[in-house]
Amino acid sequence: MTDWRAVAHEHQPSWDSDDQARATSDTAHLDALGVRHSPAPDWDRGPYQPLPAYGAEFPALALAVTRPVRLTPARDWLAVLTFAGGRECHHHTDILTLLHPRDPAALERLAALYHGTAIEFPEPHQTAEYRRNLHDLLGADCHPDGWWSEARYVIDVADLPALTHENVELPEGENIHLLLLSANSDEI
C-alpha cells in the first residue's frame, strides 16, 4: 500500500500556515462544486491528491477544467495532484473526471513512447512528433502551441468522441481540456 504521507512530504517538503490556509480555502471551494477530494487520510498537503489515491490506475484519460464555474453533476469530479515533466517533477492541481477510453492499449502505447524522456517544455519538433503519434495511435490531435510534458499529455477536447464512447457534457470554466495522465518517471 502506498504511503501517501511520505509522498506528500517528498514532493512538498515545505508546508506552512499560508499553504494550510490555501488548502482550507480550496477545500471549501471544492465542496461547493461537489468535487471529491482528500481520499487518503494520511495525506496532509491539502485536498488535491495523486490519482492512485482515488483507486485509479495509469494511464488514465481525463476531462479537466481550470477554475470551474459549473460541473456536470452526473460525473464524479476529483481534485487530483499530478506530477509531470520527468525529473523536474512539476506539480499540477486539476479538477477532473475520468473517462473510459475506446482503446486503453493505445493510451498505454502513447504513454510508453514518452516515459523516461523528461520532456517538460517540448521543442517544436517534439510537439510535431507528439501530434503525429496522437493521430496515429488515437486519431486525435493537440493545438500546435499546446503545452504537454512527460506524464501529462494534452489532447484537443474536440477529439472527445474519438477517444470515448461516453456522451460527456463539458463543464463550464476556464481551460477545458482532455488529458492522458501516466506515471512520471522522475528519472535523472
56: exposed, middle or buried (Cβ count in 10 Å: 0-12, 13-18, 19+): middle
| Position 85 pLDDT exceeds 70 | no
Q: What is the mean pLDDT of residues 4-20?
A: 67
Q: What is the pLDDT of residues 20-74, one digit of tens each?
A: 777 788 888 999 999 999 877 777 778 988 888 899 999 999 999 988 999 998 9
Instruction: Compute the Cα dihedral for 27, 63, 40, 34 and give only its sign.
Output: positive
| Position 108 pLDDT exceeds 90 | yes
Q: What is the mean pLDDT of residues 111-129?
A: 88
| Position 5 pLDDT exceeds 60 | yes
| Position 154 pLDDT exceeds 70 | yes
Residue 120 DSSP code: S
| Position 82 pLDDT exceeds 70 | yes
40-44, 52-56, 77-81, 107-111: the lowest-pLDDT one:
40-44
Residue ranges of domains in the chain: 4-181
d(CA 156, CA 160): 8
Q: Crossing angle of helices 104-114/124-138, nearest 10°?
A: 160
Whole-structure pTM value: 0.88
CA dist list (Å): 134 to 10, 79, 106, 119, 121: 33, 26, 9, 16, 17
